[in-house]
Amino acid sequence: MEMNTMPQSADISEQGASIRPIPDLSGTSLGTRLETLTSVYEEIARAQNEFQACASEHHAPVACPSGCGLCCASFTPDILPAEAELLAFFC
């Protein structure tokens, strides 16, 4: 079985995360789902970076207001099955 690594987004590689080798999933339904999900996440990251840069240029940085942050204290995200499959490669 051939071993590959999942494509890394800039955010993942900048954080220094190491990605373990995984089987080549090219042409499989799982591989297609993971590639699609990775593309969606990369597009979201690009759009967020663009929005944050624009906000900073207009001296309106994106941040929680003073005293805020309680929503982050007990946040439990909902994930889709494809997201769970993608996470499984990093655990």
CA 11, distance to chain mean position in Å, is 8
**What is the rounded radius of gyration, in angstroms, for the C-alpha atoms of the chain?**
17
Phi (first) and psi of residue 62, to 5 degrees: -80, 120
Q: Is the pLDDT of residue 20 over 70?
A: no
Residue 5 pLDDT: 44
Q: Which residue has the higher pLDDT, 62 or 54?
A: 54
Residues 65-91 have pLDDT tens digits of 777 877 777 888 899 998 999 888 777
Contact 11, 44 (CB under 8 A): no
Please tell me whether the overall predicted TM-score, pTM, comes out greater than 0.95 for this model.
Answer: no
pLDDT band, very low/low/confident/very high, at 62 (cuts 50, 70, 90): confident
Residues 28-47 have pLDDT tens digits of 998 888 889 989 999 999 99
